[in-house]
Copies of this chain bind each other. A is one copy, B any other.
């Protein structure tokens, strides 16, 4: 992908810059502008068409979706091979089409899909399946693989294997155990190794490689000491990044709501993308002409320095920012010597790019947010760096240091990661010493930002009405007990049932799991018999689909084989559909659930406090939990949704508990906060 983007961008910039050199006076200056616009709109349009028509789930960075997936929610088609190809092609086209997007977020999604596919040894698209990997075909194993894949994606994107691990732990994996941590780090290391080796092979044809990722920030060898006063300034920058990030999130959320309402047709989405591409390019072109700031060409690493109206040994510095891939612009902001940028150039670039990036995130293209946010931050950070340089040129000879901190602050303010982002950026700069200032900046950015809004991923998850379980229960939730939270009446089954009775019991209540009980049931007294097991809707669907009923003498017609499960995974038949397929004859049969139920389910006494229930749920990765009384009689069921049912607030000494009402339509708006 990196190579393709480089090829396409190189070609594009070569064509446009030769046109600019040809037509640089009078009205014909518009020729290169239109050429540039046209190329970009074409590339971006194709990217958008792919996403909209082939795999809508490939839009955006994929990080919110991965977060939901790892939290235990299933998102259809997220882990499909087709989604991955669309994402890959889409991001190549979008980035080389000059949109304000990065390729790093999508790398994480692609990594996850690869991992999910490898672990299953099966590609749905090609109807291909590998028997020896059957062991991994269950949700938990798959989730672990997906975390490792996401980490490998980060490792490849930023050359940050440890950062990748921490990203997977901070954003994803619900159940952290040691072997998993291990696996994840190993995958990340291999990913970075292969990437670095391939990159070197392509460029230098030798086996001497430098470890690193796609978005290398260049070596920050000049950073070795910090003064305490500098660190204080970094904290202020962190706070500014938090405010600026929160504003970005709020504006983008409003825009997304607007889009959800008015941009609904498929063609509408494509047209919107092309329009944004047109505006991005034409504004960029206009700025390059309008802001005439020239820098010495001698020190620059910019491969396409546009001369325009500058002197012979100078180039247009705005073009370094806008007539370049975003990664390269970032490196230029970090490393070029102090005189390169005029403060005016940066102060014009910052708000313009801010608005463009804000419009871009949420479009129907594959797009990452990391690089644009870093670029915004680096631009205002470099403004501060320039000021510091002009005030104390001796003490602060490198404005790039401030650009780095600004970039971190802005990105932290938008995505609200701290730990993992610190390590990712530390590894991307290749310098351990920046870790401490980065962490301080990011912590301040996070807290300032959190005061004003949620992180962009949580905001988008909220807008798409999905219910994430936070890491820990509300500290006030110990005032509630299992009986306050549980659902009742309970939809229960018996070990041996008449199929008609079973169907009647579950038809209107298609839950994910059903408790299996024995003995007298007395619903008015909230007592549903003794708990003897539990069965998931998937297994029930398989049993009914394969007609595993009893013969008249009570012996089973056939028993369920492992292959029956395996051939279905992960797209089990929907219980709903199976129920409709049952014939009148089937309904008269009996079914014995005992051999297929889980006969020792986790359960909790009804008096257990809610926060202990929550820990059980979260740590063991449960989806439903029977609540029993002291005689092991089922009293209710707790599901993921019930855990988000209450919102606690402490007002003075009073504890106010608000119960949220759920229906299939109305889901919690900000599930991340609970």
For residue A209, which residues in chain B have a CB less than 8 angstroms away from its CB?
A: 225-228
A27 to B632, CA, bound (A): 88
A628 at the interface (CB under 8 A from B): yes
Nearest-Cβ distance from residue A429 to partner chain B, whole angstroms: 8
A212 to B225, CA, bound (A): 10
Q: A211 near B619 (CB under 8 angstroms)?
A: no
Q: A423 near B162 (CB under 8 angstroms)?
A: yes
A553 to B353, CA, bound (A): 80
Q: B179 near A471 (CB under 8 angstroms)?
A: yes
A530 at the interface (CB under 8 A from B): yes
Stretch of A314-322, A538-546, A602-610 lying at the B interface: A602-610
For residue A607, which residues in chain B have a CB less than 8 angstroms away from its CB?
A: 599-600
- Among candidates B179, B435, B632, residue contacting A472 with C-beta atoms closer than 8 Å: B179
For residue A264, which residues in chain B have a CB less than 8 angstroms away from its CB?
A: none
Q: A224 near B197 (CB under 8 angstroms)?
A: no
Q: Which of A166-216 contact B (CB under 8 A)?
A: 166, 169-170, 175-179, 181-182, 185-186, 189, 192-193, 196-197, 206-212
A600 to B440, CA, bound (A): 42
A557 at the interface (CB under 8 A from B): no
A426 at the interface (CB under 8 A from B): yes
Q: A432 near B436 (CB under 8 angstroms)?
A: no
> Which range holds the interface residue count of chain A?
35 or more
A227 to B224, CA, bound (A): 27
A429 to B433, CA, bound (A): 10
Q: A178 near B225 (CB under 8 angstroms)?
A: no
Nearest-Cβ distance from residue A85 to partner chain B, whole angstroms: 29
Provide the A607-621 mask, 1 if CB < 8 A to any CB of B, else 0.
111001001100110
Q: A472 near B419 (CB under 8 angstroms)?
A: no
Nearest-Cβ distance from residue A470 to partner chain B, whole angstroms: 9
A630 to B601, CA, bound (A): 11
A229 at the interface (CB under 8 A from B): yes
Q: A178: nearest residue on chain B (CB-CB)?
A: B471
For residue A369, which residues in chain B have a CB less than 8 angstroms away from its CB?
A: none
Q: B161 near A162 (CB under 8 angstroms)?
A: no
- Among candidates B169, B219, B227, residue contacting A207 with C-beta atoms closer than 8 Å: B227
Q: A608 near B604 (CB under 8 angstroms)?
A: no
Nearest-Cβ distance from residue A104 to partner chain B, whole angstroms: 17
A276 at the interface (CB under 8 A from B): no
A477 at the interface (CB under 8 A from B): no
Most buried by B among A162, A177, A427: A162
A482 to B600, CA, bound (A): 10
Number of copies: 2
For residue A630, which residues in chain B have a CB less than 8 angstroms away from its CB?
A: 518, 530-532, 632
- Among candidates B176, B423, B600, residue contacting A605 with C-beta atoms closer than 8 Å: B600
A228 to B181, CA, bound (A): 26
Q: B182 near A419 (CB under 8 angstroms)?
A: yes
A585 at the interface (CB under 8 A from B): no
Nearest-Cβ distance from residue A171 to partner chain B, whole angstroms: 10
A536 at the interface (CB under 8 A from B): no
Nearest-Cβ distance from residue A205 to partner chain B, whole angstroms: 13
Q: Which of A427-485 contact B (CB under 8 A)?
A: 427, 429-433, 435-436, 439-440, 443, 471-472, 481-482
Contact A435-B161, Cβ < 8 Å, known A211-B226, A472-B179: yes
Q: A185: nearest residue on chain B (CB-CB)?
A: B419
A631 at the interface (CB under 8 A from B): yes
A583 at the interface (CB under 8 A from B): no
Q: B192 near A208 (CB under 8 angstroms)?
A: no
Q: A443: nearest residue on chain B (CB-CB)?
A: B186
Q: B631 near A530 (CB under 8 angstroms)?
A: yes
Nearest-Cβ distance from residue A618 to partner chain B, whole angstroms: 8
A663 at the interface (CB under 8 A from B): no
Q: A439: nearest residue on chain B (CB-CB)?
A: B189
- Among candidates B181, B196, B225, B472, residue contacting A210 with C-beta atoms closer than 8 Å: B225
Q: A609: nearest residue on chain B (CB-CB)?
A: B600
29 contacts between A and B (CB under 8 A): A161-B439, A162-B162, A162-B166, A162-B435, A170-B178, A170-B181, A176-B176, A178-B471, A179-B471, A181-B419, A182-B418, A182-B419, A185-B419, A185-B439, A189-B440, A197-B228, A206-B227, A208-B226, A209-B226, A210-B225, A210-B226, A211-B433, A211-B436, A432-B432, A530-B630, A600-B609, A615-B620, A619-B619, A631-B632
